[in-house]
Amino acid sequence: MSDATFLEYVVFFAAALMMIGGAIGVVIFANPVHSALGLVLTLFGVAVQFVAMDAHFLAAVQVIVYAGAIVVLFLFVIMLLGVDTAADLAIDPIKIQRPLAAVMGVGLLGLTAAAIVKARNSLELAPGEGIARAVDLGDHDANIRQLADSLFSDYVFAFEFTSVLLIVAVVGTVVLTRRWPRDPRSESK
Amino acid sequence: MIAAIETTWYLLLAALVFTIGAVGLLIRRNPLVMFMCIELMLNAVNVTFVALAFQLADIDGQTAVLFVLVVAAAEVVVGLGLIVSILRSRPGATADDLAELKG
């Protein structure tokens, strides 16, 4: 057994454990703050998997945008609204909901796992142009360079439209959360 | 000598996390926690994208993940805005309390 392969296994299973543990934590913790911390654990696990799969830029973006911005936004809202109290999870308002959800979960996992295992042999087909690896090229920015080439040539229209999407989202949120005065005329006084 | 880690393992891991997120979305009542479960599902799909980009040696999968990140950020902003405006008028509301849209 080569050391490199053994290390890959350690990294994979450690990160997988982080992802699964965090995901289960999100679902079963009664307090929303603890759920948010479970989400952070999962997001870091995903970032580690990204590094293992040579997606270095995405790993950095994952930590900065997801763990850094989105989870902080969640925590901000939890604290702003003061909902950081534990919910009683023993109460099940709709009696049959949890058994049905469990059945759906088992079914979904079974079907996707069956499809993945069945598609295993066709994974070799249709290889693309190759992913630039920093290790092979001796270029630390190889992944960023290749991703930028793809983003700013093939997907440049989609990229431009995401800026429109973000502007619309920001304006929409301001409109949604602003407290509008009851009488529009009273605002000018 | 053990074989290298197969792409199938990454895909199965992503399927498991996706399922946990989907089940959480169905059984939790707190709108914030339901939202976190949606983030879990998005991340599972991102792992699938990157794993297949790695397996098929095609950078397009990573580009798609970048777009998913942007859309997820926009979605979180709008969703949390909605949750703030709902919970401000009715503190402690759960998903069951929001069956009617009357403010």
Domain ranges of chain B: 7-92
Nearest alpha carbon to residue B46 among B60, B23, B66: B66
Q: Domain of residue A6: give its range.
A: 1-85
Whether B99 has a pLDDT exceeding 70, the answer reads no
Query: Is position A187 within any domain?
Result: no
Residues A1 and A81 placed together within one structural domain of the fold: yes
Stretch A35-52: mean pLDDT: 94
Query: Is position A55 within any domain?
Result: yes
Query: Is position A163 within any domain?
Result: yes
pLDDT for B16 equals: 95
Residues A3 and A58 placed together within one structural domain of the fold: yes
Fold of the domain built from segment(s) B7-92: Helix Hairpins (1.10.287)
Of the partner residues A16, A43, A131, the one whose CB lies closest to the CB of residue B13: A16
Residues A76 and A137 placed together within one structural domain of the fold: no
- Please answer yes or no on whether A27 and B50 come within 8 Å at the CB atom: no
Residues A5 and A68 placed together within one structural domain of the fold: yes
Listed in sequence order, the residues at least 6 apart from A35 whose beta carbon sits closer than 8 Å to its beta carbon are A25, A26, A27, A29, B32, B33, B36
Per the structure, the count of domains in chain A is 2
Q: If you ran DSSP here, which 8-state letter would residue A188 be given?
A: -
Are the beta carbons of A54 and A133 closer than 8 angstroms? yes
Tell me the pLDDT tens digit for each residue of A8-33: 889 999 999 999 999 999 999 988 99
pLDDT for B2 equals: 64
Nearest CA in chain B to A89: B28
Whether B102 has a pLDDT exceeding 60, the answer reads no
Q: Specify the amino acid at residue B2.
A: I
Query: Is position A165 within any domain?
Result: yes
Query: Is position A98 within any domain?
Result: no
Least confident of A86-95, A126-135, A137-146, A151-160: A126-135
pLDDT for A189 equals: 44
Of the partner residues A26, A49, A83, the one whose CB lies closest to the CB of residue B40: A26
Closest-CA distance, A137 to chain B, in angstroms, reads 15
Residues A13 and A70 placed together within one structural domain of the fold: yes
E-only strand ranges, chain B: none
pLDDT band at A181 (very low <50, low <70, confident <90, very high): confident
